[in-house]
Each structure stands twice: as structure tokens, then as C-alpha cells.
Chains A and B, each alone.
Chain A
Amino acid sequence: MLKSIQTALLGATLLGAALASPAHAETKINALFMAQAAYSEADVRAMTEAFTKANPDVTVNLEFVPYEGLHDKTVLAQGSGGGYDVVLFDVIWPAEYATNKVLLDVSDKITGDMKTGVLPGAWTTVEYQGKRYGMPWILDTKYLFYNKEILEKAGIKTPPKTWAELAEQAKIIKDKGLLATPIAWSWSQAEAAICDYATLVSAYGGSFIKDGKPVFQSGGGLDALNYMVDSYKSGLTNPNSKEFLEEDVRRVFQNGEAAFALNWTYMYNMANDPKDSKVAGKAGVVPAPGIDGKSTVSAVNGSMGLGITSTSKHPDEAWKYIAFMTSQQTQNQYAKLSLPIWTSSYADPAVSKGQEELIAAAKQSLAVMYPRPTTPKYQELSTALQQAVQESLLGQAKPEDALKTAAANSGL
């Protein structure tokens, strides 16, 4: 009883306050992020704080989930009227989100400055059938990281330029007894494994889908999986890679237990940070290698965008927030863990300072980013492929058979 009186009083006071000063009418928006790779949770919180400082009439509630939960959370929140207003989405989801009307079409909100200023490749992250469903925010691909000290001890002058060279160099390191298993990947049964696989598919010039039908079961798609299996079986790859996600790869690399690792942009500055890393100053980065006669470098499009949900009650404030988060100023300020989407940022010495090596790699890699297939059934396709990758690694099935099964189960 006392409680309810208190609540009533409180409500009355609040109502009075709201009526008295309409200028302070606050809009609350809810935003869904991941904190796993790219911008750290602390970065996102700091950016958001800068936004609310500039826009005192808007408050932003932040929600962080692991990447693995991002898709399901977004989809499940569709049923709730007061769900998220802004969601982070992966490059592989616009097809499904557009088909199921999860995201608003924001094509007409995008200004001319955005159109001309943002890297053309970055736009593919948010597009489906000619419409744009958000702003690109994280421009990312997988790079090859290497431990300079270990390579030096092994007498290796330059990091590998082809995947075959990677295997050769890893063999030298293994044979010299520097590391038992020199390469770390994220091959857990998760999307991370598909990103590593897609990088290799792009190197081998393969493709996922042709005319709506899966074609990964032969040619480059099969070569890519065979490479993974060979690397695993030869003992050059850390066998625990099959249960690693990106953060596990980073831990192992930072602990000096991997000579090579495939990972996203964010690892460069984290691995070179003496506070948290044993290999600070020794972490080098180059584009993921190519295949002789087929490619010089390889890269998967691992970019992500920010979009407005179709259930949002505050699409205007949500867009304001997205525009702020993706603005060149914000992105340049936080360019250590994720590189800007803006073309001119790459000429800005403030952005490249201290990470010239990363920028150099990015210039090559970002130009050749290979897309994972654009299909509303991506989740099923990916689930089937994850199983194929793991079964092949574990020796439960031959790569060609596993990929054939995956093609059959892909829902396409």
C-alpha cells in the first residue's frame, strides 16, 4: 500500500516535471551491439556517451550480446513492441532481414555526402536488391597476423604471400621446435569457421552459389576445405582451433603460442598493447595470402552495419544515432580496433599513425573482399557448411562428401 502511494506520488512528480519543461522530454532508444571483435564494449559506450552529450534529449540503452546471439536476438525482439530501435547486423543478414521486414529501408535517409564519402565496397554490407537497410559501420576482413619474433628465430624474412608458403613456413617453425602447432584459426562450429573458409574460397577462386544453386562442393569451394583439412592433419594447425572463436585465437596469439593467426582488424592493436599482450610490438599483419596463378591476396567481407528495426517507435532519433556512430569524426577517433568506412580517412595521418602496417594491409585486403552468399536462407546454408567443415576436420567425412551433404541440406 505504502509502495503504491509512493509510486503514485513519484509518477505525479514525474508527470509534473515533464509538463513543466517540455524541452527535456526524453526519447529512449535501445540499441543492440556485439562485443567480441571490432569496436570494444568500452569504445561503443564511449561513443554513445559522446552522442548523448551532444543530444541531451535522447538516451540510448545499450545491449551487448556475443556475435552468436546477435541474429537470434534481433529476430526474436521483432515480436516485442518495445524491442530494439538500432541493431548491429552482419553483411550476410540484409537479405533475410529485408525479406522478413526486420529492418527499415533507409535508402532515402542517406545523404549525398554519405553516398560519395563512404567506400563503395562498404555499401555492399547494407544492400539487398538495390535498397539500403542501414549504414555500414564496421569495415572488416580477416588478415593474416604473424609473430615477428618467431619468424625471425626461424630465419624467415618475409611473411607468406601464398597459402602454400604459409604451410611451408609453419613447417619450418614446427621442425625447429619453436612451436608445436604454429597456426591458429577460429574453426569452432560457428560463423567464424565460415569466415575462414570463405577467405580460402576467395583465394582458390571458388564460389558459393551460382544461379541460386550451391556450387561450393567442387572447384574452389572443395579446394578451400581440403586446405583446411590438410593443415589440420599435418599438425601445423593448432588442433584446438576446432573449438576456437576469435577471442580464443587472440588469446593464443597474444600469449606467443601461435606464429600465424587469421583474425579480424581488432587483433592488431590489442596484440600490440603491452598491458594485455606478451607479444606487444611483435605482432605483424599482412593480407591473407593468395594462391599461385589464382589470386595474390584473399579476403572475406566481414563488415557489419547499423540499421533501424521496422518496429522502432523512434526511427528519427535512431537514425540520428546511427549517423553519429558512423560519422567520419567518430570513426577516425576510434580507428584502433576497427577501420573507418570513409575513403578520405585513409589519407588522414591521425588515423594511420601507429598502425601504418595495418593500413597498408587494409588497402590491399579491403579492395578484394569476397562476399559470403546473399540469400534469405543464409542461416541454414551456414549451419550446414559449419557441420561440413567440422566433420571434415574431425575425419568423420571426406571433404567432398561433407560439402555435398551441406549442399543438400542448405535449403537452397
Chain B
Amino acid sequence: MERRSLTATILVHAAALILAAVILAPVVWLFIMSISSTTDLITKPLRWWPETIDLSRYGVLLSSVANSAGEAFVASLFNSLKVAGMATAAALVVAIPSAWAVSRTPSVGWSLYAVIATYMLPPVALAVPLYMALSALGLLNNVFGLALVYLTILAPFTTWLMKSGFDSIPREIESAATVDGARLDQILRLITLPLAAPVMATAALFAFLLAWDEFFYALLFTSDQRAKTLTVAIADLAGGRVSDYGLIATAGVLAALPPLIIGLFMQRALISGLTNGGVKG
């Protein structure tokens, strides 16, 4: 490390403080709103820390009383979990064999680019026929239907990530095993997949986060508690349904918790996944 002048050191620390404030302030404010009473939130001048800490909204949203606002919110939480979980699992199932095939057989690589290119498609270009098809199949307002639709986003993405993961596993390991007489499924099961486990985990996390974040299809294709996801539930709350800003903030905090936890703890895996994919594309 080069030696820095004192001024440079001070400047760097000041800039770091500003960056930290920019990153943290909105998130912290979201949390403070969720524990402030409504009176504190509409006082002028605004109070930046509540007079009394009010945790009641967490109770309201997480209650399981039948036919309550809390029940509806919890239902959407579970719907999000189900849809994101199923879509992630399905995406991995279709992505792993094809990613491996493309990685080991460059001659079919062009098909992968065709798959990745679908990422460019705006969801609005598919929404109308998908709506009509789900309607015909009776899969509107259904977690399975929504999970299926989410594959449009997750499958190309996970295939892309997995392919760059397989690329980093030397082929020689596999060919050595072939020489020893192992069958393809044995090679994949015993050698390649265990080596690719970290990449698979990263791809799964990404896929889960993408599905958790999705809003447009969920808005169109779900109508009530049976399939409505968290993002739609929050948009409903924020869209003028309630004027209790604290309740909206609480819903936001609860919806953000799973991805934030994943983000903070799995940081290294996520970033390496991103940059690997990014560099090798």
C-alpha cells in the first residue's frame, strides 16, 4: 500500500463516512418508521427517533387471527416463499443439465446465447398470452402457475450462472474418470456436481432473490390470499390503502428481512457469482 498524506487519509475517511450514511440512512429510517407511533410520524418538525417505541404493528402484521389483516399478510409471506422456492427448484432442475452440456459441448453453445437473449424481453411482451394460457389452464391466482411463469426469468439466469460455474471445473477430472470406466451419471453425481455445489448454491440464492423481488407478473396473475405474493401485498398497502406510514414501513421491513439476511451472510458467494458470470459472460 502506498503511503498517503494526512490530508488524503482524512479525505478518504470522510468519503467513507458519507458513503456509509448514504447506504444506511434510508434503511435505518425504514426501521425507525416501523417502530414509531403514527403521532410521531406526522409531527412537524418531524421526530427522528420515536418518543415511545411502538412494536404493535409487527403484532398486527404477524397475527394469525382468522380473517384479519395479519392473516392476509402472513399468507402472502408464505405464498412468496412457496413461489420463490418452487421456481428456484424448477429452474435448477432444468438449468443444471443444460449448463453442463453447453459447458462441455461448445458446438451447441449458440443455443445458450439464444436462451440468455430472452433476458432482454420485457415481461409485457409475454404477459398477454401468458395470462390467456394460465386462464385456460385454470392456473391464474395459483402459486404453481406463478412459479411456472417465474421460470421465464429464473431459468435463463441460472443456466448462465451454472455454465460459468461448470467452465471453472477442469474437464480433465471428468475424462480421467471416464477412462476408469465410470458412467456419465456417476461422473456427474460423484464428481462434477459436488465440485459445482458452491456455484449451485449461489445460483439458487440468486434465483430465490429474483423470484422474491418479482412484482409485475404477480400483480397480473394473482388476485387474493391464495396466491398473492408479498410484493403485491406491500404495493397494495402503499397504494393508498392505509395511511399509517408505520404499518407500510413494517411490512417493508418484514419483506426485506429474508433477502437482507441472505445478502449479508452470503455476500462473498453472491459477489463471486456475479463477477464470475460478469467476467466470463
Q: Give the interface of A toward B (CB within 8 A).
A: 30, 32, 34-36, 41, 45, 48-49, 60-69, 73, 76-77, 79-84, 245-248, 250-251, 255, 276
Contacts and interface: CB of A to CB of B under 8 A. Distances in A.
Interface in B33-51: 38, 42
A65 B236 contact: yes
Interface in B133-155: 134-135, 138, 140-142
Contacts of A247: 240, 242-243
| Range, interface on chain B | 20 to 34
Nearest to B224: A63
B141 A276 contact: no
Nearest to B68: A45
Interface string B139-178: 0111000000000000000000000000000000000000
Interface of B: 38, 42, 67-69, 72, 131-132, 134-135, 138, 140-142, 220-221, 223-226, 228, 236, 239-243
Given A79-B131, A80-B135, A251-B42, A61 B225 contact: yes
Given A30-B224, A69-B236, A77-B141, A251 B243 contact: yes
Given A30-B224, A77-B140, A276-B38, A245 B240 contact: yes
In order of increasing CB-CB distance, the 3 nearest A-B pairs are A79-B135, A80-B140, A66-B239
Which of A35, A80, A84 is most buried by chain B, counting CB atoms within 10 A of its CB? A80
A63 B223 contact: yes
Given A41-B69, A251-B42, A64 B135 contact: no
B134 A79 contact: yes
Contacts of B225: 61, 63
B275 to A, nearest CB: 38
B134 A45 contact: no
A48 B132 CA distance: 33
Given A45-B68, A63-B224, A83 B239 contact: no
A76 B131 contact: yes
A250 B42 CA distance: 12
Contacts of B140: 76-77, 79-81, 83
A65 B142 CA distance: 18
B223 A76 contact: yes
A32 B236 CA distance: 13
Given A30-B224, A276-B38, A66 B240 contact: yes
Contacts of A41: 69
21 contacts: A30-B224, A35-B241, A45-B67, A45-B68, A48-B67, A63-B223, A64-B72, A64-B241, A65-B236, A66-B241, A69-B239, A76-B223, A77-B140, A77-B223, A79-B135, A81-B140, A82-B141, A82-B226, A246-B240, A247-B243, A276-B38
Contacts of B243: 247-248, 250-251
Contacts of A66: 236, 239-241
A67 B239 CA distance: 9
B126 to A, nearest CB: 15
B242 to A, nearest CB: 7
A73 B203 CA distance: 34
A269 to B, nearest CB: 15
A69 B228 CA distance: 14
A79 B72 CA distance: 23
B128 to A, nearest CB: 11
A312 to B, nearest CB: 13
A25 B242 CA distance: 36
Nearest to B136: A79
B240 A76 contact: no
Nearest to A60: B67
A276 B39 CA distance: 8
A49 B240 contact: no
Given A41-B69, A79-B132, 20 more contacts: A32-B223, A36-B241, A61-B226, A63-B72, A63-B228, A64-B69, A64-B72, A64-B236, A67-B240, A76-B140, A76-B220, A79-B134, A79-B140, A80-B140, A80-B223, A82-B226, A83-B141, A246-B240, A247-B240, A250-B243
